[in-house]
Structure 1
């Protein structure tokens, strides 16, 4: 399989939830260290977010990384160098995002990492960490989220956008009830 075919498979892969894997934190650490080595001083902080950052939670086996930058101009300036460092992205998709930039890493036709570039300590930064921390500290919410994710994955197995929209509604509801 050539690189273009592999990327296409990664973009259109089916949404599937897997049992928690104790290697997910290690995979995050390896990629965080790689990014910090490749781009010294460019990130103010790098955090593991998403379901793979919650011990015991089933998830899509994609490591979500939150990287804090000084300003969105810094994120924009990193897009091309990150693409040279084994990430890929959609400039069109990123143009539709006001408060973040998104990239993915893939191997053998499947996504392995999502990289979210946001302004450090912004509302976007704080919300993403708040949701992760809520899942880590409240097993009831984590179980409810996992059950919903399984249902959404079954319903939207071939529609990532619908799956993501369903998750976003749950996340917003969880964060608004915490305020």
Structure 2
């Protein structure tokens, strides 16, 4: 069941994360598959070999926000609560209202051209292709988790510069010129 992290715990990569994502993806697809374009595994658990908080991040990609009311309605019938964008434009968060058999996960619905989705994919794909950056990010996360074990907001904020540097090398590289 997705919930706000109280303690920052970074663990070694686990092959089971792929299988867990597939199970969750299949479940979500059975609820709203006819309304969406795809379901993407994003975040650190989607990068093989990267240490991560053991929480699956999932982006459900839609063509446009016109579909959101139907998605909200269907997901609510299946036990999800729509939480809005939680301060991040271009993504809508949902949380499960009861425990299910899956590991913890965060579920987001994003338009295909939304900033949140495009950044997730650019960052994930860069780390998948760049071993040095993946190691640097893993080391940073591990250090920050030790320092900010009980302060998830500071943990996240301290990763921002690293993430922005990667995004500036990928989807925002042309904006610098």
Q: 1:59 aligns with which of 52, 55, 70?
A: 52
Q: 1:138 aligns with which of 118, 126, 130?
A: 130
Aligned-partner Cα distance in 1 for 2:109–2:137: 24
- Spell out structure 1 runs of 4+ moving beyond 4 A: 105-108
SS of residue in 2 equivalent to 1:40: helix
CA deviation after TM superposition for structure 1 residue 107, in Å:
4.2
CA deviation after TM superposition for structure 1 residue 98, in Å:
2.2
| Gapped regions of structure 1 (runs ≥ 5) | 1-5
Tell me the matched-pair count.
169
Aligned to 2:6: 13
Native 8 Å contact 2:90 2:115 kept in 1: no
Tell me the TM-score normalized by structure 1: 0.81
Aligned-partner Cα distance in 2 for 1:125–1:12: 21
Aligned-partner Cα distance in 1 for 2:131–2:153: 27
Native 8 Å contact 1:50 1:64 kept in 2: yes
Aligned to 1:120: 112
What's the C-alpha RMSD, in Å, of the aligned pairs? 2.5
Native 8 Å contact 1:25 1:53 kept in 2: yes
Q: Pick closer, same or farther for the CA change 1:123–1:144 going to 2, 3 Å.
A: same
Aligned to 2:91: 100
Aligned-partner Cα distance in 2 for 1:32–1:103: 14
Aligned-partner Cα distance in 2 for 1:169–1:73: 34
User: What do the CA deviations read for 1:48-78 (whole angstroms, capped 9, x no partner)?
Assistant: 1111111111100101111111223433543
Aligned-partner Cα distance in 2 for 1:89–1:152: 30
| Gapped regions of structure 2 (runs ≥ 5) | none
Answer yes or no: is 1:90 the counterpart of 2:83. yes
Tell me the TM-score normalized by structure 2: 0.82
SS of residue in 1 equivalent to 2:36: coil
Q: Pick closer, same or farther for the CA change 1:154–1:76 going to 2, 3 Å.
A: farther
CA deviation after TM superposition for structure 1 residue 12, in Å:
4.9
